[in-house]
Amino acid sequence: MRTVFVAWVLMGVGSLIQAGAQSMPENAKPSYLGNGWECERGFRQSGQECLRVQVPANAKLSYLGNSWECERGFRQSGQACLRVQVPANAKLSYLGNSWECERGFRQSGQACLRVQVPANAKLSYLGNGWECERGFRQSGQECLRVQIPANAKLSYLGNSWECDSGFIEEFGTCRRMTPDELLAALEQKRQLDAYIAQRRARTAAGGGCQTEPDTNSQVCLKISDTDFDCDENYDGSHYDSCELEVEYDVTTDYQGSGSISASIECDVEIQYNKRGGYGSSRKSDDDSASMTLYSDGYTSGSFDFDFRFSASDEVISAKVKDVDCGFRYLGR
């Protein structure tokens, strides 16, 4: 009786295997998770079958292998790949499916025209425009020397001036501060320095840790990576947006059987230059995330910050000025 039962079980398992094999179509394989099937490379799923990907001339299989993409130097047009027509003084773009002007040239329709750089100017960071040399400011299509009054110096960006320490701007000149103004300026600087020190003390970039009061456990926040990327406008003359991704890790030495609740927040600041040398900065709104940590817990995540510019800004370069992350709440 026992032998018959075992044989019946084996027959049942064999039937299940056969049924599973029959349910997988031709040119397919078990999925990565093992809970279904997926088409082999070079085939695409269509209902319950796998059809061969029809790759046109001047194309290749995509990275995933279930579609196609044009070779470098060609662009997709319907179901075909057409050669990218690169005009004089241009080159293939980074992705290879379009073109961009060489440095020192700017796009005008389907042509690249030489950038006309006036006296006391140089090619811009992107190379498709110009900007004034340090000590000069843009006025229309020329660069005029910055006229610096007494007790002043060139600004950080070099396209304007600022008063020396102990002086204040008034009616286009720099006058000496009164004793009361000096004291007020010193107090303002002291408060600013204290605020910066406080923010840096809790910033995750330096490996900030705090103690959870109920368990006396350490919870640490660290920035693991950042990725800053800016997108050019349609003709590549300036940036119309930038995105910063901030990745973080949170760890704790908590040893209890319960959990710790934590909430973190981040804000970032970028610095950018406009055409003509004008500089500015922009700060993001705070973003936050909450999490639950268990014994010797670890978690990670990321924040995405988007900065968009108007066409009139004509932003030609940008960089990250500050990333500030810290704990907003720790408790049970």
Secondary structure (3-state) at 186: helix
Residue scoring higher pLDDT (32 or 306): 306
Contact between 215 and 332 (Cβ < 8 Å): yes
pLDDT, tens only, 256-296: 778 888 888 888 888 888 876 667 888 888 888 888 888 87
Per-residue model confidence as pLDDT tens digits over 240-258:
889 989 888 888 888 877 8
Q: What is the overall mean pLDDT for the chain?
A: 83
The 10s digit of each residue's pLDDT in 132-186 is 999 999 999 999 999 999 999 998 888 899 999 899 888 989 999 999 888 988 8
Rounded Cα distance between 198 and 296, Å, is 28
What CATH code is assigned to 204-331?
2.60.40
Distances (CA, A) of 125 to 90, 177, 278: 17, 38, 13
Residues 6+ apart with CB under 8 A from 119: 142, 143
Pick the CATH number of 2-52 from 1.10.287, 3.30.1370, 1.10.3470, 2.10.25: 2.10.25
**Which two tokens mark 38?**
């997926």
Q: Per-residue pLDDT for 16 more than 70?
A: no
Note the pLDDT of residue 198.
58
**Tokens describing residue 286:** 């705070």
pLDDT band per the 50, 70, 90 thresholds, residue 13: very low
Question: Do 272 and 321 touch, CB atoms closer than 8 A?
Answer: no
Q: What is the pLDDT of residue 137?
A: 93
- Domain ranges in the chain are 2-52, 204-331
Rg of the chain in Å (alpha carbons): 31
What pLDDT, on a 0 to 100 scale, did the predictor assign at position 10? 41
